[in-house]
Amino acid sequence: MSEVSYEVRGSTAVVTMNRPEYRNAQNSAMTYALDAAFTRAVDDDAVAVIVLAGAGEHFSAGHDIGSPGRDVDTSFDRTAVLWWDHVGKAGADARYAREMEVYLGMCRRWREIPKPVIAMVQGACIAGGLMLAWVCDLIVAAEDAFFADPVLKMGIPGVEYFAHPWMLGPRLAKEVLFTGDRFGARRAYEAGMVNRVVPRDELTASTFALAERIAAMPRFGLALAKRAVNQCEDQMGMRSGMDSVFGLHHLAHAHNAETSGDSLAGLDARAMKQ
């Protein structure tokens, strides 16, 4: 089974998360498959724009914390080498290594992909799913899309890629974190988090129409424009903010491990859903 599918339509590469039976929960196999697919799209001169999609009813329910394919203790062929392999390490050393590599580090690298990336979001886009949508340059959401970061239920102050204040503004970021509640596509649009909200049956056509319009622009100019906005976003504190919050995130994991013996405070996917 392939966790990620890849196809090229015109000048647009479509990278699709392909675990619909688990609402595209991201295990490490999927993360490394995404990394490989993005690399392929960047290296293909015929590809101008990348669309990131989720197969089935939902974009992504988040990181895999309970499917049979959960693979936290598995090593993968690591091409970028952001940190040492977490397998065989203990405690915070293992957690920090794994999350630096597959969560924060990968997401940051994907944000810097030198071609425009559009997230095409339907249904659930939760926690780790939000991270993937946020690293994309544009987000097109179906009317049925909903978003949430409920990890405070685990005592953790938000997902690893802590873009919340920049994506939502401080006020909504706090509400989303404090309540763990879902917010819909319309609210996300009003907050400036998504670019378009379209009927579900128009999601694919709208996204590809947008992709093809962008694809007509000069390739190098697009890459520079992307970098320009990203650099300014980092001047607005996003990168350094994320670095400092990653420490708080790991303080919470360590606190959970110290007090309950489990870095996720004993909550799996089913418990989180309730």
Candidate ranges 9-17, 36-44, 97-105, 164-172; the one touching Zn ion (CB under 5 A): 97-105
Give residue for tokens 């290296």: 43
Q: Tell me whether residue 3 or residue 99 sits nearer to Zn ion (CB atom).
A: 99
We find the least distance from the C-beta atom of residue 154 to Zn ion, in angstroms, to be 9
- The dihedral over CA atoms of 265, 30, 227, 173, expressed in degrees to the nearest 10, equals -30
Nearest-CB residue for Zn ion? 99
Candidate ranges 67-75, 98-106, 138-146, 227-235; the one touching Zn ion (CB under 5 A): 98-106
We find the least distance from the C-beta atom of residue 110 to Zn ion, in angstroms, to be 17
Q: Tell me whether residue 8 or residue 254 sits nearer to Zn ion (CB atom).
A: 254
Token pair belonging to 76: 């993968």
- CB neighbourhood size of 260 (10 A): 14
Measured CA angle at 23 (ends 22, 25), to 5 deg: 70
We find the least distance from the C-beta atom of residue 158 to Zn ion, in angstroms, to be 10
Q: Which residues pair with 59 in a beta bridge?
A: none
We find the least distance from the C-beta atom of residue 47 to Zn ion, in angstroms, to be 32
State the Cα–Cα distance between residues 265 and 76, nearest whole angstrom: 26
Q: Tell me whether residue 41 or residue 151 sits nearer to Zn ion (CB atom).
A: 151
Q: Tell me whether residue 35 or residue 99 sits nearer to Zn ion (CB atom).
A: 99
- Note whether 115 and 129 are within 8 A (CB): no
Q: How many chain residues bind Zn ion (CB under 5 A)?
A: 1
- Note whether 13 and 41 are within 8 A (CB): yes
Residues in the chain: 274
Q: Tell me whether residue 137 or residue 160 sits nearer to Zn ion (CB atom).
A: 160
State the Cα–Cα distance between residues 48 and 66, nearest whole angstrom: 36
We find the least distance from the C-beta atom of residue 98 to Zn ion, in angstroms, to be 9
- Note whether 19 and 28 are within 8 A (CB): no
Candidate ranges 99-107, 136-144, 195-203, 238-246; the one touching Zn ion (CB under 5 A): 99-107
105 CB contacts (<8 Å, ≥6 apart)? 80, 82, 83
Q: Tell me whether residue 136 or residue 265 sits nearer to Zn ion (CB atom).
A: 265
We find the least distance from the C-beta atom of residue 81 to Zn ion, in angstroms, to be 20
We find the least distance from the C-beta atom of residue 160 to Zn ion, in angstroms, to be 5
Q: Tell me whether residue 99 or residue 149 sits nearer to Zn ion (CB atom).
A: 99
Q: Which residues bind Zn ion (CB under 5 A)?
A: 99
